[in-house]
Amino acid sequence: MSFAPDTPPQDWDEPTWRGLVEFVRAGQSLKPAQWPGGARCAVALSFDSDHETNELRDGGNSIGRLSWGQYGNRRGIPRIRQVLDRFDVRASFFVPGVAAEIYPDEQRSLADDGHEIALHGWIHEVNTKVPPAQERELMLRAADTLERVSGVRPVGMRTPSWDYSPTTLAIAEELGLVYDSSLFADDDPYEIVHKGRPTGIVELPVEWIRDDAPYFMMNRFGAQRPYTPPADVLDIFLREFEGAYAEGGLFLLTMHPHITGYRSRIFILEQLLERIMDKGDCWVATHADIARHCATSAGLAVRG
């Protein structure tokens, strides 16, 4: 679904192009003056537990790709949890509703351990290709599913593939979400503004630089085989973290169990957490806890 006019962009008048730019915008910075416990910076580790939904979303029936999704549950999640347990930190898991239905025990166990289970669509749908009414129904269905499966109502979302339709923000407001983590306008938290109106929703910004997928994914039928050595990915993530630490801001990382959960890659998470812990003054918390702290520090009404 697109909300841009059909005319060529060079023919747009100012109200048209300005309206597109200002439809969803970054508002006031919500970077707090102080992180809890006097921490120098905040660290938000997130894992998009897509599992089989990428193949299902595309209408595919590849047994091989479906088995790749199962790897995320079978091997990826256990390895990730072992690392998180070793450092005694909590993370956020963004889970499509269908993935939660396939692996309910995974979500219950994570929630029982204090990790956050957050919205990630129903079947990893692309929101801009879904009619508005259906997007709303799928998001509400996903929220109900995660609550039933995990025992906790989700308070945050990450849109599948970080894809925002003109309807997405209104659905988030209807759900009363505390935060979103799908947009790119800053390094640090900010308030989402809709057509000039502050929404009270905290944005915890993402970036492809801080995502494992662009470095390791490949198209099995394409001519190219993009691949970045894991040590180089670690170096990029460490540089992003050191920058956040130097600025006293937020370091937010997105990883996937079916991508990072391999024997040759899990060290990225291990060594990154070693560096974070060596600092001695980093607050590692769920997205929900970080968003609530930012909202409270700014005097916003905390949702959820």
Per-residue pLDDT tens digits for 182-241: 999 999 999 999 999 999 999 999 999 999 999 998 877 766 676 899 999 999 999 999
What backbone phi and psi angles, to 5 degrees, belong to 172? Answer: -60, -40
pLDDT tens digits, 15-47 = 999 999 999 999 999 999 999 999 999 999 999
Q: Among all chains, which residue has been given the structure tokens 């600092």? A: 279
Q: Cα–Cα distance between 74 and 78 in angstroms, integer? A: 7
pTM: 0.96
Quick check: 1 pLDDT over 60? no
Give the pLDDT band of residue 160 (cuts 50, 70, 90): very high
First-to-last alpha carbon distance for the chain, in angstroms, is 29
Domains of the chain, first to last: 26-298 (3.20.20.370)
Nearest 5 degrees, angle CA 206-CA 190-CA 241?
A: 45
